[in-house]
């Protein structure tokens, strides 16, 4: 049976993270531009999986992180028995060795994993390199007063000030947040990772799955100050996009929007992942919300030394 058919059935049967769902990958990559990598047991049952975006340019193929997609695996089938430590470690090594061996023959591979995956040894043994990145994660939102008490003082003050000067509302207007984020990225010489039509199609899919919300902050004159776009799966809400109206320079608006996002994530019984940036000017802002720092792996492998050096020199590698 085709691996994609097997994987589609897997997505229907289990609660895979939103960024690994087949419909998510169809939207951000195009249905023909991604594939699952599956590890199976002796009976042919899928025990682990990841997804790969295959990017083609000038007749060459590379595997890179999918647009707007923070991680692509690794998902392990839930087990209903307790293994001894050595046996569980061996099980993980065997499954990841399968996936490493099934990577398509491309000139360069970059994969980014969820922080729950903490053993990349078989990828190392298969010639991959690794760098560590970080996100900030609020695991327990059941007591919001406790959550806010762990904010940095400046962030807590920003939220309190915003309560009396800023209004927050959700809006079924994905075009507006697309334009706001695109405009902010343009000031840094960066393009939005998806084309407008593709993003709007993704938004429709998220809306159909009841897995997203758009928040806007306005002053009392109706001026848009900031916006956030959050998505979620069964257990976690993710801060996917943020935008600030730099013409207004209201430093409290984004903090307040994130706080409102945390409130609603709490109502859903979720954790909250900031999908933290490693950029020096952004990381302190996410850190100020008091989340736990979680490390995640980004691995890469080139077909040969030539492609390794080329990707390093162009800044496309790790």
Q: State pLDDT tens for residues 247-302.
A: 876 679 999 999 999 999 999 999 999 987 666 778 999 999 999 999 999 999 98
Segments making up each domain of the chain, as ranges = 3-134+295-313, 151-290
CATH number of 151-290: 3.40.630.30
Q: Give the residue among 230, 260, 232, 256 at the shortest CA–CA distance from 244.
A: 256
Q: Is the pLDDT of residue 138 over 60?
A: yes
> Does the pLDDT at position 312 exceed 70?
no
Same fold for the pair 3-134+295-313 and 151-290:
yes
pLDDT tens digits, one per residue of 200-218: 999 999 999 999 999 999 9
CATH 3.40.630.30 fits 3-134+295-313, yes or no: yes
């Amino acid at each position: 049976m085709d691996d994609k058919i097997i994987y589609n059935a897997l997505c229907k049967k289990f609660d895979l993270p939103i960024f690994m769902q087949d419909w998510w990958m169809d939207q951000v990559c195009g249905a023909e531009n991604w594939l699952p990598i599956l590890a199976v047991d002796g009976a042919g049952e899928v025990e682990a999986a990841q997804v790969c975006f295959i990017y083609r340019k000038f007749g060459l193929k590379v595997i890179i992180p999918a647009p707007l997609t923070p991680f692509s695996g690794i998902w392990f089938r839930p087990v209903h028995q307790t293994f001894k430590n050595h046996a569980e470690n061996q099980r993980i090594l065997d499954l990841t060795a399968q996936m490493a061996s099934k990577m398509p023959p491309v000139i360069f591979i970059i994969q980014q994993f969820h922080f729950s995956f903490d053993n990349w040894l078989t990828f190392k043994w298969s010639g991959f390199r690794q760098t560590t990145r970080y996100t900030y994660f609020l695991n327990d939102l059941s007591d919001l007063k406790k959550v806010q008490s762990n904010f940095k003082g400046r962030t807590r003050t920003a939220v309190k000030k915003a309560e009396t000067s800023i209004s927050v509302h959700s809006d079924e207007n994905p075009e507006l947040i697309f334009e706001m984020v695109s405009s902010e990225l343009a000031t840094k010489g960066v393009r939005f990772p998806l084309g407008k039509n593709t993003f709007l199609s993704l938004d429709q899919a998220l809306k159909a799955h009841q897995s997203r919300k758009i928040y806007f902050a306005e002053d009392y004159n109706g001026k848009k100050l900031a916006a956030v776009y959050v998505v979620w799966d069964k257990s976690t809400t993710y801060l996917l996009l943020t935008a600030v109206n730099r013409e207004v320079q209201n430093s409290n608006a984004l903090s307040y929007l994130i706080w409102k996002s945390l409130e609603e994530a709490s109502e859903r019984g979720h954790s909250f992942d900031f999908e933290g940036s490693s950029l020096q000017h952004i990381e302190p802002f996410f850190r100020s919300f008091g989340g736990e720092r979680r490390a995640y792996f980004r691995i890469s492998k080139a077909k040969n030394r030539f492609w390794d050096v080329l990707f390093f020199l162009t800044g496309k590698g790790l």
